[in-house]
């Protein structure tokens, strides 16, 4: 069974429009009530050949984007109207702001500095805030035009995974406020430090809801195949994977009691994020052993597997340092050694334990990308070149600092130097793809046709119900 995944209003030819007015929406209703509709392109977020193409598993139907008026406009004029392109912006755009925010955070932690480095970091952070604002505005426009697509996007087998990327971007905006903003407005006790205290707890609540809701959908609504597993399945847990570094940073300018609460919350959240990621690691490695490697153009998405170990490593060290200076000796009752020193020592040991795991995933992903480099074309998952490896660079610098090793710090700086041109490359290719209609165009965006089509189906059903049409 093949159904048109495009908007009935914009895509049906004249004969189909007439059939729809005469009650022809039966076909759309049948598509909506089918057992499940998905595409291989959308499974796992970081895999596929483009929206609307794929294979059908048991009880699954293949979605196919058919030629229509919008395609004819694009072919004739070479450009789609802004309204049509806005409808194709998805949560999958937020890895761009994840990478930009992570780069700003990384620049603020460089062990070897020079005049102007802080200014460069601030410029990158401001760019991150601007991009985040633009993307959020475009998402609001999309869901204003197709309001029913919001709920669908949150449980669609490809787009929903990237909802976590939105919240990680929020965390990095908050981190930048602490690193670049708080010192500029008075430091500890300033209005911004107080505001960040509130925003931190709001973020923790949203991260909890995201992790529970997204995995509830995966477990109870969607049926995903192990052969399609990708590290993108970790993304709903990613908001917790940055709570360690975020909590430690904000706690630095908080009163003692609030700082203690944030440190405890940070390590609890980091633990949840790490354990959820560990479960997905097993699924992903099972896929690599039993199935083919991901398509070449989607292999940069394998770098997502670097982030959990890298950010947990960095988070543990940051929380250990902060705990050493904040936690009182009687924090856990009477003990023979100061609790702060014990907390710090255990955190450093655990962080070093995870450090090489992050490096291993990075090297494994790099080898896979090199082997498939000749078949690679740009897609939004290329932003995974930057964000996870920025976490590896931060973790390496942190370990170099605690071990007082210039060699290890130099490795962290070297990774940073590599990431800067990678970010520029992704930005240039992203803009180029946008200009050439390689993205935000019919058949070019994973899952968006399916999500928007389901919106139109629901809308048609509501219209029929109001008009008393029997379908």
The residues spanned by each domain of the chain are 2-80+451-467, 89-439
Query: Tell me: the pLDDT tens digits for 424-438?
Result: 999 999 999 999 888
Do 53 and 41 form a contact (C-beta atoms < 8 A)?
Answer: yes
Torsional sign, CA 242, 245, 249, 250: positive
Cβ contacts of residue 151 below 8 Å, gap of 6+? Answer: none
Instruction: Measure the CA–CA gap between 382 and 361, rounded to whole angstroms.
Output: 16
pLDDT greater at residue 442 or residue 139: 139
Mean pLDDT of 53-69: 38
**pLDDT at residue 23 tops 50:** no
Mean pLDDT of 127-152: 90
**Type and span of the H or E element at 174:** helix 163-176
**pLDDT at residue 168 tops 60:** yes
**pLDDT at residue 98 tops 50:** yes
Share of the chain above pLDDT 90, in %: 48
Query: Tell me: the pLDDT tens digits for 237-290?
Result: 999 999 999 999 999 999 999 999 999 999 999 999 999 999 999 988 988 888
Question: Beta strands 2-4 and 37-38: pairing type?
Answer: unpaired
| Best CATH choice for the domain 89-439 from the list 1.50.10.150, 3.40.50.300, 3.40.190.290, 3.40.190.10 | 1.50.10.150
Instruction: Measure the CA–CA gap between 303 and 43, rounded to whole angstroms.
Output: 17
Q: Predicted confidence band at 406 (pLDDT cuts at 50, 70, 90)?
A: very high
Instruction: Measure the CA–CA gap between 300 and 297, rounded to whole angstroms.
Output: 7
Backbone dihedral angles phi then psi of residue 333, each to the nearest 5 degrees:
90, -170
Instruction: State the pLDDT at residue 462.
Output: 66
Q: Predicted confidence band at 100 (pLDDT cuts at 50, 70, 90)?
A: very high
The count of C-alpha atoms lying within 13 angstroms of the C-alpha of 360, restricted to the half-sphere facing its C-beta, is 9
**pLDDT at residue 120 tops 70:** yes
Query: Tell me: the pLDDT tens digits for 442-457?
Result: 877 766 766 766 666 6
Instruction: State the pLDDT at residue 400.
Output: 96
Instruction: State the pLDDT at residue 226.
Output: 82
């Amino acid at each position: 069974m093949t159904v048109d995944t495009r908007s009935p209003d914009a895509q049906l030819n004249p004969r189909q429009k007439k059939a729809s007015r005469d009650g022809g929406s039966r076909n759309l209703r049948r598509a909506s009530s089918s057992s499940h509709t998905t595409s291989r392109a959308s499974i796992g977020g970081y895999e596929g050949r483009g929206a609307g193409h794929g294979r059908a598993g048991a009880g699954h139907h293949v979605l196919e984007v058919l030629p229509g008026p919008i395609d004819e406009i694009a072919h004739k004029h070479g450009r789609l109207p802004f309204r049509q392109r806005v409808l194709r912006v998805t949560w999958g755009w937020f890895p761009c702001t994840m990478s930009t925010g992570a780069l700003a955070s990384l620049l603020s932690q460089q062990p070897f500095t020079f005049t102007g480095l802080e200014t460069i970091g601030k410029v990158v952070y401001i760019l991150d805030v601007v991009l985040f604002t633009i993307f959020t505005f475009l998402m609001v426009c999309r869901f204003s035009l197709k309001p029913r697509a919001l709920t669908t996007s949150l449980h669609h087998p490809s787009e929903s995974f990237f909802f976590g990327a939105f919240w990680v971007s929020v965390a990095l905006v908050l981190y930048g406020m602490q690193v670049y903003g708080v010192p500029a407005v008075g430091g500890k006790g300033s209005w911004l430090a107080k505001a960040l205290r509130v925003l931190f707890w709001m973020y923790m609540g949203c991260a909890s809801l995201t992790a529970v809701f997204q995995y509830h959908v995966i477990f109870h609504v969607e049926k995903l195949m192990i052969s399609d597993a990708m590290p993108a399945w970790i993304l709903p847990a990613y908001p917790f994977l940055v709570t360690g570094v975020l909590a430690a940073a904000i706690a630095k300018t908080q009163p003692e009691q609030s700082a203690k609460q944030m440190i405890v919350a940070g390590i609890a959240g980091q633990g949840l994020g790490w354990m959820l990621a560990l479960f997905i690691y097993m699924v992903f490695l099972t896929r690599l052993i039993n199935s083919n490697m991901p398509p070449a153009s989607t292999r940069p998405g394998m770098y997502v597997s670097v982030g959990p170990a890298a950010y947990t490593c960095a988070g543990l060290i940051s929380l250990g340092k902060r705990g050493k200076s904040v936690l009182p000796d009687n924090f856990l009752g009477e003990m023979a050694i100061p609790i702060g020193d014990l907390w710090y020592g255990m955190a450093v040991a655990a962080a070093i334990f995870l450090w090489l795991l992050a490096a291993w995933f990075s090297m494994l992903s790099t080898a896979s990308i090199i082997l498939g480099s000749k078949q690679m074309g740009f897609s939004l998952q290329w932003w995974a070149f930057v964000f996870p490896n920025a976490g590896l660079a931060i973790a390496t610098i942190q370990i170099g600092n605690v071990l007082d090793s210039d060699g290890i710090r130099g490795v962290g700086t070297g990774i940073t130097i590599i990431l800067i041109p990678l970010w520029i490359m992704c930005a240039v290719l992203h803009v180029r793809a946008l200009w050439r209609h390689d993205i935000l165009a019919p058949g070019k965006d994973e899952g968006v046709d399916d999500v928007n089509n389901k919106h139109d189906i629901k809308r048609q059903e509501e219209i029929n119900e109001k008009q008393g049409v029997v379908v």
